């Protein structure tokens, strides 16, 4: 068999193999790249999510408002400390009053005159 006869018999099969490999390559690349309609749908969803995040960020307090909030909390802590100190002082007063009241109650219950 001559070289030309072998080439004419094998050429269709070789071209079929090359075309098959090319089709497989294109099909594989389809999984790697995004279609335009899928991309536009994804972009619109991301834009909606971004708008929601921006709206939430707009409602967040500014740095000045955070500082004012921290100052207000510190003032409340100071007020709580004052109230706690007063309550502790009242506890001491109650202890001083409790003993004589207890003695008077025992005196009246026993009927001592």
Q: pLDDT digit string (tens) for 61-112?
A: 999 999 999 999 999 998 898 888 888 888 888 888 888 898 888 888 888 6
Are 72 and 42 in the same domain?
no
Note down the domain range covering 23. 1-60
Are 52 and 84 in the same domain?
no
Are 66 and 46 in the same domain?
no
Are 77 and 103 in the same domain?
yes
Would you state the structure tokens that stand for residue 55, as one six-digit string?
């709206």
How far apart, in whole angstroms, are the C-alpha atoms of residue 97 and residue 107?
A: 16
**CA-atom Rg of the chain in angstroms:** 45
Are 93 and 108 in the same domain?
yes
DSSP 31: H
Q: What is the pLDDT of residue 65?
A: 93
Q: Indicate whether this model's pTM tops 0.85.
A: no
How far apart, in whole angstroms, are the C-alpha atoms of residue 67 and residue 42?
A: 39
- φ/ψ of 79, rounded to 5, equals -65, -40
Q: What is the pLDDT of residue 87?
A: 85
Q: What is the pLDDT of residue 112?
A: 66
């Amino acid at each position: 068999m001559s070289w030309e006869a072998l080439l004419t018999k094998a050429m269709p099969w070789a071209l079929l193999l090359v075309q098959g490999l090319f089709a497989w390559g294109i099909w594989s690349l389809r999984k790697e790249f995004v279609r335009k309609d899928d991309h536009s749908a994804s972009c619109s969803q991301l834009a909606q999510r971004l708008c929601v995040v921006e709206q939430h960020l707009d409602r967040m307090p500014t740095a000045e408002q955070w500082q004012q909030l921290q100052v207000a909390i510190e003032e409340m802590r100071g007020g709580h400390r004052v109230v706690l100190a007063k309550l502790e002082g009242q506890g001491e007063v109650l202890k001083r009053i409790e003993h004589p009241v207890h003695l008077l109650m025992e005196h009246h219950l026993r009927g001592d005159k």
